[in-house]
């Protein structure tokens, strides 16, 4: 696989970073995806420079697992960012979230508005786009199971890595399938055990226990919605079940998890996939 190298990335306090994104595919048709609202930042320990001599060494320009030594750093770009617990008064500490003011004030371009209105929506679009395109190769298996009357729920936990350029455009680097669910293994840098534990709730492992509080109202509203769309005959039972499942997932989401797809019609993400380029990628249930 060949990819363009991003020479003008978004940076954190002058350091190149990429994001590990957590996304869970809950249904193929209709496509339903939940995402964790914070990215998991992986920040280079060298100040970024895209000058040719630094690009050749790779320590400043890549998020590399290769060792970088003092002789590789004649311009003294190496700047270790300690975790907060070991900061010892350092002004710059390793970011553990992309949803707090510390992140918004240190990322460049700077600010909450740029991140929430430009950069993160671009990450969302990149994740949905690749899943819509990949689904085309496997959706026939989902349909075959349903034609045989089989009710099943298989979830797919994905850990995409994305890099973002200085204009806020996200590019998918790779997608890790059933990727590394690290919990608090490296909690100084990535304290995400509660977010990991929350996956079991919205995927229905416990059977959606909160539904007893709203199931009657949900069925009433679903029937009303279906009559409004399809007339008195309403929705087929299979469609009603999908609507109920979507609501259960949303009602049981917590710890920054949210429904990434489908989105409300008012959402820019909804509009992005209602274009001619994707008209053959959406199924009737998606629509």
Output the pTM of the full model. Answer: 0.90
Please, which pLDDT band fits residue 65 given cuts at 50, 70 and 90?
very low
What is the spatial distance between Cα 188 and Cα 222, in angstroms, rounded to a whole number? Answer: 45
Using the predicted structure, report yes or no on whether residue 263 has a pLDDT greater than 80: yes
Write out the E strands in the chain.
11-12, 15-20, 23-27, 32-36, 40-47, 107-108, 156-164, 170-177, 257-261
Structure tokens at 128: 């949905």
Could you give the maximum distance between any two Cα atoms of the chain, in Å?
Answer: 76
Lowest mean pLDDT among 44-58, 97-111, 121-135, 137-151: 44-58
Report, as an integer, the average pLDDT of 45-56: 73
Measured distance CA(32)–CA(260) in Å, rounded? 8
Q: What is the enclosing helix (H) or strand (E) of 216? A: helix 215-230
pLDDT band at 94 (very low <50, low <70, confident <90, very high): very high
Residue 250 has pLDDT above 60, yes or no: yes
């Amino acid at each position: 696989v060949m990819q363009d190298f991003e020479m003008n990335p978004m940076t954190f306090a002058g350091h190149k970073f990429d994001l590990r994104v957590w996304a869970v595919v809950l249904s193929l048709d209709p496509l339903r995806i939940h995402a964790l609202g914070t990215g998991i930042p992986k920040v280079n320990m060298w100040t970024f420079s895209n000058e040719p001599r630094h690009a050749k060494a790779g320590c400043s320009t890549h998020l590399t697992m290769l060792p970088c030594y003092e002789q590789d750093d004649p311009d003294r770009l190496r700047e270790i960012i300690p975790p907060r617990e070991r900061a010892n008064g350092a002004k710059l500490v390793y970011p553990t979230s992309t949803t707090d003011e510390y992140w918004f004030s240190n990322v460049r371009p700077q600010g909450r508005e740029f991140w929430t209105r430009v950069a993160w929506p671009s990450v969302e679009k990149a994740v949905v786009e690749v899943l819509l395109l990949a689904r085309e190769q496997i959706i026939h298996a989902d349909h075959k199971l349903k034609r045989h009357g089989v009710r099943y729920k298989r979830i797919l936990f994905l850990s995409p890595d994305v890099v973002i350029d200085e204009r806020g455009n996200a590019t998918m680097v790779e997608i890790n399938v059933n990727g590394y669910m690290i919990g608090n293994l490296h909690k100084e840098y990535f304290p995400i055990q509660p977010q990991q534990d929350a996956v079991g709730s919205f995927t229905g492992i416990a059977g959606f226990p909160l539904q007893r509080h709203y199931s009657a109202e949900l069925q009433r509203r679903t029937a009303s919605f279906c009559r409004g769309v399809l007339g008195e005959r309403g929705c087929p039972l299979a469609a009603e079940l999908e609507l109920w499942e979507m609501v259960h997932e949303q009602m049981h989401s917590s710890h920054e998890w949210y429904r990434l797809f489908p989105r409300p019609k008012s959402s820019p993400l909804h509009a992005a996939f209602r274009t001619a380029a994707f008209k053959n990628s959406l199924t009737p249930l998606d629509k």
